[in-house]
Amino acid sequence: MLGSNGQIGTVLSEKLVEKFGIENVVCSDVREPKIKHSHYFEIIDVLDKTKISDIIQGFKITQIYHLAALLSAKGEQNPELTWKINMQGLLNVLDLAVQHKINKVFFPSSIAIYGPTTPKSHTPQYASFQPTTIYGISKIAGEMWCEYYHNKFGLDVRSIRYPGVIGWQSLPEGGTTDYAVEIFHAAIHTGHYNCFLAENTRLPMIYMDDAIRATLELMDAAPEKIKTRVGYNLVGMSFTPKEIYLSIKERIPEFTIEYKPDFRQKIAESWTETIDDSCARDEWGWKVNYNLSRMCDDMLRQLKK
Ligand code: AKB
């Protein structure tokens, strides 16, 4: 796995170790993990194609989960670097995957591919996608590259358009949907949250358990079921900052919030509110488990531990 220190990588690497055994998973990131674990770990910069190639050969890698990327908010601070890491990193992976006959590649796409021309509610699998962030542009281009490698070289590459992911196990960094994780930590630690999005900004979100299960189910699905080689639309839930605040407040009555929208508001407004994921449901049987209320119960229970 590339990018195993990130919000999703931290949890997905645990699950892959559980599934395949500790001796069969190589985690990697550009820096040492902040929290030490016993998984096999390598420092890999995704721009270092030779190192990736050496690791593939040295460990006889058969599947690649390519999670390394700069996200929507952080990406805007350095568009050129974001493009380089997100695009060249993916191209290195796709090229090496063909060269080394890798069985399967996973590429995470995002709701950041949606833009002002995309239908805002029940966003279909295929629509007008003109993202406004460099992260979104890199993800839509990445999806097209994945489809291209599948069509041209038969590479089995699979992808999900993750909504904002919310989990207690790890903290997100540099995203626009990060508020929905931070709010739980604030509720428990200080009892107050300054939210960087406006109260009625509705965005698609998903609980980490569902996001990880979706990833593993997609990767386990028989190849003939996978008819979509761009990212799959995926529904978890949709809510506004006010709705998640009220849901937490029901459980922690003294919790307070202030809304102080910053530059991320504009990014959030360019995305859509709800998604149609019938393609994922029909092709590989996706089904969501967590709604807002169930997620709040679990997040608070886990974080209080
Ligand atoms: C972000 O906010 O940039 C990410 C994403 C939606 O891909 N969480």
Instruction: List where CATH 3.90.25 sits in the chain.
Output: 167-203+237-275+289-304
Ligand 1: which atom is nearest the Cα of residue 172? 8
Q: What's the pLDDT score for residue 245?
A: 98
Q: Compute how many other C-beta atoms are within 10 angstroms of the C-beta atom of residue 212.
A: 20
Note the pLDDT tens digit of each residue in 177-197.
Answer: 999 999 999 999 999 999 999
Q: What's the pLDDT score for residue 35?
A: 82
> Which of 238, 244, 274, 237 is CA-nearest to residue 259?
244
How many whole angstroms from 112 Cα to the centroid of ligand 1? 6
Query: Does the pLDDT at position 34 exceed 90?
Result: no
Percent of the chain with pLDDT over 90: 98
With the most atoms of ligand 1 within 8 angstroms of its CB, the residue from 8, 11, 165 to mutate is: 165
How many whole angstroms from 129 Cα to the centroid of ligand 1? 16
Q: What are the pocket residues of ligand 1 if the criterion is a CB atom closer than 6 Å to any ligand atom?
A: 71-72, 110-112, 135, 162, 164, 175-177
Residue nearest to atom 6 of ligand 1 (CA): 164
- Kindly name the residue from 135, 179, 207, 232 that is annotated as catalytic: 135
User: What is the chain's mean pLDDT, rounded?
Assistant: 97
Rounded CA-CA distance 208/12 in Å is 9
Ligand 1: which atom is nearest the Cα of residue 203? 6
Note the pLDDT tens digit of each residue in 271-304.
Answer: 999 999 999 999 999 999 999 999 999 999 999 9
Instruction: List where CATH 3.40.50.720 sits in the chain.
Output: 7-165+206-233
Q: What's the pLDDT score for residue 199?
A: 98
User: Under 8 Å CB-to-CB from 217, ≥6 apart: which residues?
Assistant: 284, 285, 286
Q: Does the predicted TM-score (pTM) go above 0.85?
A: yes
Is 135 among the catalytic positions?
yes
User: Under 8 Å CB-to-CB from 189, ≥6 apart: which residues?
Assistant: none
Mean pLDDT, residues 238-267 taken together:
98
Task: Please report, for residues 18, 182, 199, 283, 303, the alpha-carbon distance to residue 188 in angstroms, rounded to integers and kept in the order given.
Answer: 30, 10, 20, 40, 8
Ligand 1: which atom is nearest the Cα of residue 72? 3
Q: What's the pLDDT score for residue 231?
A: 98
With the most atoms of ligand 1 within 8 angstroms of its CB, the residue from 177, 233, 267 to mutate is: 177
> Which of 199, 190, 202, 201 is CA-nearest to residue 258?
199
Query: Does the pLDDT at position 12 exceed 90?
Result: yes
Q: What's the pLDDT score for residue 289?
A: 98
Written as one letter, the residue type at 220 is D
> Which of 231, 238, 239 is CA-nearest to residue 215?
231
DSSP H or E segment with residue 233: strand 232-233
How many whole angstroms from 57 Cα to the centroid of ligand 1? 32
Where would I find the H helices in the chain?
Answer: 7-20, 49-58, 72-77, 79-83, 89-99, 134-153, 179-189, 208-220, 241-251, 264-270, 278-284, 292-304
With the most atoms of ligand 1 within 8 angstroms of its CB, the residue from 8, 107, 132, 178 to mutate is: 178
Written as one letter, the residue type at 18 is E
Written as one letter, the residue type at 92 is N
Query: Does the pLDDT at position 36 exceed 90?
Result: no
Please state the φ and ψ torsions of residue 91, each to the nearest 5 degrees.
Answer: -60, -40
Ligand 1: which atom is nearest the Cα of residue 165? 8
Residue nearest to atom 4 of ligand 1 (CA): 175
Mean pLDDT, residues 134-145 taken together:
98
Please state the φ and ψ torsions of residue 124, each to the nearest 5 degrees.
Answer: -75, 165
How many whole angstroms from 173 Cα to the centroid of ligand 1? 9
Mean pLDDT, residues 198-218 taken together:
98
Rounded CA-CA distance 184/120 in Å is 27
Domain 167-203+237-275+289-304 falls in which CATH fold? UDP-galactose 4-epimerase; domain 1 (3.90.25)
How many whole angstroms from 162 Cα to the centroid of ligand 1? 8
Burial label, 213 (beta-carbon count in 10 A; 0-12, 13-18, 19+): middle
Written as one letter, the residue type at 200 is N
Query: Does the pLDDT at position 60 exceed 90?
Result: yes
Query: Does the pLDDT at position 38 exceed 90?
Result: no
How many whole angstroms from 60 Cα to the centroid of ligand 1? 32
Rg (CA), the chain: 19
Reply yes or no on domain 7-165+206-233 having CATH 3.40.50.1370.
no
Ligand 1: which atom is nearest the Cα of residue 71? 3
Q: Which tokens sit at 280? A: 């994922």
Q: What's the pLDDT score for residue 91?
A: 98
